[in-house]
């Protein structure tokens, strides 16, 4: 998996804000690592300090204590002209300009390398081109940034970071406000960058699904600090569940997902096989029913000639339904 060298490392890091003489500590004692070729997802509930951590790592906010090392050098020893060649940052700020082309936005990523007026050399142009190819933007190069979709805009900003040619790319909520396919698209793009270009990408997200499925390393932030490990490590130790569980939400290790906590449910016997039976169980669970072979109430799922039919009997009455919607509407509510 690439060079696998550590690119970013913190020891006993304290992050927060200083406002004149008032110090506001968000978190402390953070000792974290990230390697080349790794996709690191920073997850945690709102307000825990994810943005603060990312901004401290990139040098935008000074740490309140402890150390940060980038490419083996202490962050505070890296000059202001060197730092942009080591780490790039995509913030949550929206692009407030129209009339600027996608290619020009990506070209701005070459800022640390161009001359005093910003002219792009051959190397710069190549970097821009390859960044756009990697992010699938070559067809949009001449389009103005406000004429493309949100997902494409996000990819443009990622391409800009890519053009900056840094070993470490840090991104603050790159999938926020994107639709489902776009979210998956972005995360798979980030994955590709780490695999193909040996970059390290550290990104914060609220999108747990993609994070625990795609990230190599999770930084799980809670009010007490940050735990790191493979997603499965955190599931195994129960930390992931504990971080997010609530009276309404529970984590299932089997599925690797969170789901709603169902209150006391009525039992219903389910007869049937295959896809239809599984989905029927889901629909029933939503309405407060749990599968119980001993239950009196029975639902039979049968398929014939491509049509599915549901038959419900409580031993006395029999009802037939042609769709799951009709079925659950027909049954009394199972929650009590």
Partner 1 sequence: MIAGRTRIVIAIAGLSLLILLLFIADLLLGSTHMNFADVMGSLFGKGDPGDEIIVMQFRLPKAITAVLAGAAMSVSGLLMQTLFRNPLAGPDVLGVSSGAGLGVALTLLTLTPLITLPAGSLLAGWGLILAAWAGAGVVMLIIMAVSARMRDIMTVLIVGLLLASAISAVVSLLQYFSNEAMLRTYVIWTMGNLGSISYPQIRALSLATAVGLVIAFIMVKPLNAMLMGETFSRTVGVKMQRTRIILLASASILAGSVTAFCGPLAFIGVAVPHVARLIFGTTDHRTLMPGAALCGAVIMLLSDIISNAPGGGHIIPVNTVTSLVGIPVVLWIIIGKRGLGRKF
Are the C-beta atoms of residues 284 and 314 closer than 8 Å to each other?
Answer: no
- Minimum CB separation of residue 46 from partner 1 in Å reads 20
Cross-strand partners of 22: 19
Q: Report the relative pairing of strands 87-90 and 73-74 from DSSP bridges.
A: unpaired
Quick one: 23 or 97, whose CB is closer to partner 1?
97
Pairwise CA distance, residues 321 & 304, whole Å: 14
Q: Phi and psi (nearest 5°) for 86?
A: -105, -45
Pairwise CA distance, residues 82 & 87, whole Å: 9
From the number of C-beta atoms within 10 Å of its C-beta (0-12, 13-18, 19+), residue 32 rates as buried
With tokens 């070993």, the residue in question is 167
Within residues 257-316, the interface with partner 1 by CB under 8 A covers none
Site string for partner 1, 105-144 (x = CB under 8 A): x--xx-xx-x-xxx--------------------------
Quick one: 107 or 266, whose CB is closer to partner 1?
107
Quick one: 1 or 100, whose CB is closer to partner 1?
100
Quick one: 125 or 314, whose CB is closer to partner 1?
125
How many chain residues are in contact with partner 1, going by CB under 8 A?
31
Within residues 229-268, the interface with partner 1 by CB under 8 A covers none
Q: Does 24 bind partner 1 (CB under 8 A)?
A: no
Quick one: 153 or 258, whose CB is closer to partner 1?
153
Q: How many CA atoms lie within 13 A of 28 on its CB side?
A: 8
Within residues 144-183, the interface with partner 1 by CB under 8 A covers 146, 160, 164
Q: Is 81 helix (H, G, I), strand (E, B) or coil?
A: coil
Are the C-beta atoms of residues 82 and 164 closer than 8 Å to each other?
Answer: no
Site string for partner 1, 67-106 (x = CB under 8 A): -------------xx-xx--xxx-x-x-xxxxxx---xx-
Count of other CB atoms within 10 angstroms of residue 263: 10
Of 173, 51, 75, 160, residue with least CA distance to 111: 160
Q: List the one residue from 10, 52, 58, 154 that touches partner 1 (CB under 8 A).
A: 58
Quick one: 131 or 220, whose CB is closer to partner 1?
131
Quick one: 160 or 217, whose CB is closer to partner 1?
160
For binding to partner 1 (CB under 8 A), which residues are involved?
58-60, 80-81, 83-84, 87-89, 91, 93, 95-100, 104-105, 108-109, 111-112, 114, 116-118, 146, 160, 164
């Amino acid at each position: 998996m690439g060079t696998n060298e550590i690119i970013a490392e913190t020891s006993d890091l304290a992050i927060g804000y200083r406002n004149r003489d008032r110090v506001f500590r968000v978190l402390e004692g953070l000792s974290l690592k990230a390697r080349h070729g790794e996709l690191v997802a920073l997850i945690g509930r709102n307000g825990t300090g994810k943005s603060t951590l990312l901004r401290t790592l990139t040098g935008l906010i000074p740490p309140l204590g402890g150390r940060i090392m980038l490419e083996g050098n202490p962050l505070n020893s890296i000059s202001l002209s060197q730092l942009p060649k080591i780490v790039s940052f995509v913030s949550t700020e929206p692009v407030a300009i129209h009339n600027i082309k996608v290619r020009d936005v990506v070209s701005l990523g070459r800022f640390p390398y161009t001359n005093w007026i910003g002219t792009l050399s051959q190397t710069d142009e190549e970097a821009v081109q390859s960044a756009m190819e990697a992010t699938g933007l070559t067809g949009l190069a001449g389009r103005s940034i406000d004429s493309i979709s949100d997902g494409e805009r996000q990819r443009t900003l990622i391409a800009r970071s890519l053009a900056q040619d840094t070993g470490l790319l840090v991104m603050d909520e790159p999938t926020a406000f994107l639709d489902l396919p776009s979210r998956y698209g972005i995360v798979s793009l980030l994955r590709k960058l780490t695999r193909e270009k040996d970059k390290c990408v550290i990104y914060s997200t609220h999108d747990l699904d993609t994070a625990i499925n795609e990230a190599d390393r999770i930084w799980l932030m809670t009010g007490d600090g940050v735990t790191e490990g493979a997603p499965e490590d955190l599931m195994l130790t129960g930390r992931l569940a504990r971080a997010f569980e609530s009276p309404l939400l529970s984590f299932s290790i089997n599925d690797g997902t969170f789901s709603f906590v169902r209150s006391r449910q009525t039992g219903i016997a389910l007869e049937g096989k295959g896809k239809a039976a599984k989905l029927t169980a889901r629909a029933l669970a939503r309405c407060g029913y749990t599968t119980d072979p001993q239950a009196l109430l029975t639902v039979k799922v049968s398929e014939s000639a491509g049509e599915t039919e549901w038959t419900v009997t409580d031993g006395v009455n029999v009802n037939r339904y042609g769709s799951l919607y009709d079925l659950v509407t027909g049954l009394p509510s199972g929650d009590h």
